[in-house]
Structure 1
Amino acid sequence: MGKRIFYFLLTNALVLLTISIVVSLIPGGLNYINDGGINFGQLLILSAIIGFTGSFISLAMSRWMAKQMMGVQVIHPDQPATEYERDLVERVHRLSRAAGLTHMPEVGIYQSPEVNAFATGPTKRRSLVAVSTGLLEEMDDDAIEGVLAHEVAHIANGDMVTMTLLQGVVNTFVVFLARIAAFIVSRFVREEMAPIVHFIAIIVFQIAFSILGSLVVFAYSRHREFHADRGGADLAGKDKMKHALESLKAYTNRIKADEDTSIAALKINGRRKTSIFSTHPDLDDRIQRLS
């Protein structure tokens, strides 16, 4: 379920870095620096343009990126390959209509032994709900219903768009602070080396500040998971949503017992407790909130 956040952040970081490099290479792209130092007002405007452009480009690419990186096979609603695929599409569409969506999400399956699912897309009209083969094999019908309802709730709540706006604000501060730090560093080298050092320092500081900024997005993601759980409970029923979370907890506990700790820690659903780098709250907390 955290994969949509991971791929959005990865795409955002790459797009933001690309835009920043291009802007830095354009003649006049550093015109926020004058003889008196930094023009902070001009830099803030430039930072906002770069930050929100990168964020919205990432949002526009989110569905395509998820399909490519996860190998999602979209089920054609009129030509499902199997009866099970037809049932999966019908479930998602039924829950979507109950959530008030007027355009049905694409539904897809991707090959993975992990019990996982995610929803993504630039708008409610162009959304995607994807589930892993592991989830379909491990969970019973009621648990699957709860998971699907949770993902549809993310779409209905507009979480991707809201996160994009938050990411745009974070990007603005990342670009702004990275250029200030790079300017300060470039003052400590010879004048002929300053432009090169400034350019390299922008990239280094932007990567570092992007990592710190992602903590804000992670915290927002954890907050929105509770809302999606409540939305899933409204759509599928509280018992099914709670059963889905308990099934996921049972799965993660089994993985922890079967695998080495260092490997289990790399899995999205393999954390024992919530950390600042988690996209999802602890499952016990989610079950308790839902109860």
Structure 2
Amino acid sequence: VLAHEMGHVYNGDMFTTTVLAGLMNTFVYFISRFIYRQVAERNEALGFGVYIALQIVLSVLAMIPISWWSRRREFAADRFAANTVGKEHMISALEGIDRWVQRTQFEYSSQDALSTMKISGKSHSFMQIFATHPPIEARVNALRQL
């Protein structure tokens, strides 16, 4: 797991993800502001409401490419870890995380044992487009193909 996190540092993932998030937020702001001005010329109160609604909707939509990028970086960090400590060790670590998730979900009847980290063992959910980590099954399969 430590080698995986070192992979993020080595690959510059924090920097690129921060830049991507900043760009997406900039687009959200400017698009919302542009439409706000168009609407506010006719009705200031309506314009403000539209501005707030657009900020919310566009921010949620902006999470899709950011999450997609993050999932790609997870595979790259997994590859780095596999090359550093061996793919079997990385597969074992991921399978251990998956077992912990399954046990935690069973014990606490929770569907989101790792939801704060956006890690999921499930791959067939619509919400997967917002996940920052690929499903563990997909990560293990990718490692096995190395």
Per-residue CA deviations over 1:21-80 (Å, capped at 9, x if unaligned) read: xxxxxxxxxxxxxxxxxxxxxxxxxxxxxxxxxxxxxxxxxxxxxxxxxxxxxxxxxxxx
Percent same amino acid at aligned positions?
A: 36
Per-residue CA deviations over 1:74-119 (Å, capped at 9, x if unaligned) read: xxxxxxxxxxxxxxxxxxxxxxxxxxxxxxxxxxxxxxxxxxxxxx
1:277–1:245: structure 2 CA closer, same or farther, 3 Å change rule?
same
1:263–1:222: structure 2 CA closer, same or farther, 3 Å change rule?
closer
Q: Is the 8 A contact 2:101 2:114 kept in 1?
A: no
Provide the residue aligned with 2:102 in structure 1: 253
Paired with 1:265 and 1:229, the residues of 2 have a C-alpha distance of 18
Measured after TM superposition, the shift of residue 180 of structure 1 is 2.1
Provide the residue aligned with 1:139 in structure 2: none
Paired with 1:152 and 1:282, the residues of 2 have a C-alpha distance of 20
Q: Which has the larger radius of gyration?
A: 1
| Partner residue of 1:272 out of 111, 118, 122 | 122
Larger deviation: 227-236 or 170-179?
A: 170-179
Aligned residue pairs total 140
1:232–1:244: structure 2 CA closer, same or farther, 3 Å change rule?
same
Provide the residue aligned with 2:75 in structure 1: 226
1:164–1:267: structure 2 CA closer, same or farther, 3 Å change rule?
closer
Provide the residue aligned with 2:13 in structure 1: 159
| Partner residue of 2:26 out of 161, 166, 172 | 172
Q: Is the 8 A contact 1:264 1:271 kept in 2?
A: no
Please tell me whether residue 184 in structure 1 is matched to residue 58 in structure 2.
no
Measured after TM superposition, the shift of residue 181 of structure 1 is 2.1
More strand by share: 1
Q: Gaps spanning 5+ residues in structure 2: where?
A: none
Paired with 2:120 and 2:137, the residues of 1 have a C-alpha distance of 13
3-state SS of 1:248 partner: helix
Measured after TM superposition, the shift of residue 261 of structure 1 is 4.2
Provide the residue aligned with 1:26 in structure 2: none
Point out which structure has higher relative CO (alpha carbons under 8 A, 6+ apart). Answer: 2
Q: Is the 8 A contact 2:37 2:47 kept in 1?
A: yes
Per-residue CA deviations over 1:208-235 (Å, capped at 9, x if unaligned) read: 2112101111110011100000001112
TM (normalized to structure 1)? 0.44
Measured after TM superposition, the shift of residue 153 of structure 1 is 0.6
3-state SS of 2:129 partner: coil
3-state SS of 2:34 partner: helix
3-state SS of 1:272 partner: coil
| Partner residue of 1:282 out of 105, 112, 135 | 135
Q: Is the 8 A contact 1:182 1:199 kept in 2?
A: yes
Residue type of the alignment partner of 1:151: E
Measured after TM superposition, the shift of residue 250 of structure 1 is 1.2
